[in-house]
Amino acid sequence: MTKTSLHRLSPSAYRALLSSSTPKERVVPIDATWYMPNNPKNAKQEFLKEARLKNAAFFDLDAISLPNSPYPHMLPTYSIFNKAVQDLGIEKNDKLVVYDKSGIFSSPRAAWTFSLFGHPKVYLLDNYQYYQQFRYPVQQTPVSSFATPLKSTSDTTGTYAPITEAEFNQNYRDQVIEYEELLELVKNDQLSKDYYTFDARPNDRFTGKAPEPRPGLSSGHIPSALSLPFSKVINATNKTYNVQFELLKIFNEDFGLDLSNTNFLDGKKGIIVMCGSGVTAVILKVAIQNVIGLDVPIRVYDGSWTEWASRAPKELIHKDF
Domain ranges of the chain: 6-167, 178-316
Catalytic, 275? Answer: yes
CB 296 within 8 A of CB 2: yes
CATH for 6-167? 3.40.250.10
In this chain, the answer to whether the domains covering 6-167 and 178-316 adopt an identical fold is yes
> Cβ of 42: how many Cβ atoms within 10 Å?
12
Q: Which phi-psi region, left, alpha or beta, contains residue 293 (left: φ > 0; alpha: ψ -120 to 50)?
A: left
- Quote the pLDDT of residue 1: 40
> Cβ of 203: how many Cβ atoms within 10 Å?
16
Where does residue 184 rank: exposed (0-12), middle (13-18), buried (19+ CB within 10 A)?
exposed
- Going by their DSSP bridges, the two strands 195-199 and 226-227 should be labelled as parallel
The reported pTM is 0.96
Separation of alpha carbons 60 and 43, rounded Å: 9
Separation of alpha carbons 80 and 209, rounded Å: 38
Residue 282's nearest CA partner among 123, 131, 176 is 176
Separation of alpha carbons 128 and 204, rounded Å: 28
Q: Which of 104, 116, 275, 294 is catalytic?
A: 275
Q: Is the dihedral angle over the CA atoms 112, 114, 120, 122 positive or is it negative?
A: negative
Digitized pLDDT (tens) for each residue of the chain, 321 residues in all? 445 689 999 999 999 999 888 888 899 999 999 998 889 999 999 999 999 999 999 999 999 999 999 999 999 999 999 999 999 999 999 999 999 999 999 999 999 999 999 999 999 999 898 888 888 889 999 999 999 999 987 665 568 999 999 999 999 999 999 999 999 999 999 999 999 999 999 999 999 999 999 989 999 999 999 999 999 999 998 889 999 999 999 999 999 999 998 789 999 999 999 999 999 999 999 999 999 999 999 999 999 999 999 999 999 999 998
3-state DSSP assignment of residue 66 = coil
- Quote the pLDDT of residue 135: 84
Separation of alpha carbons 238 and 154, rounded Å: 38
Superfamily for the 178-316 domain: Rhodanese-like domain (3.40.250.10)
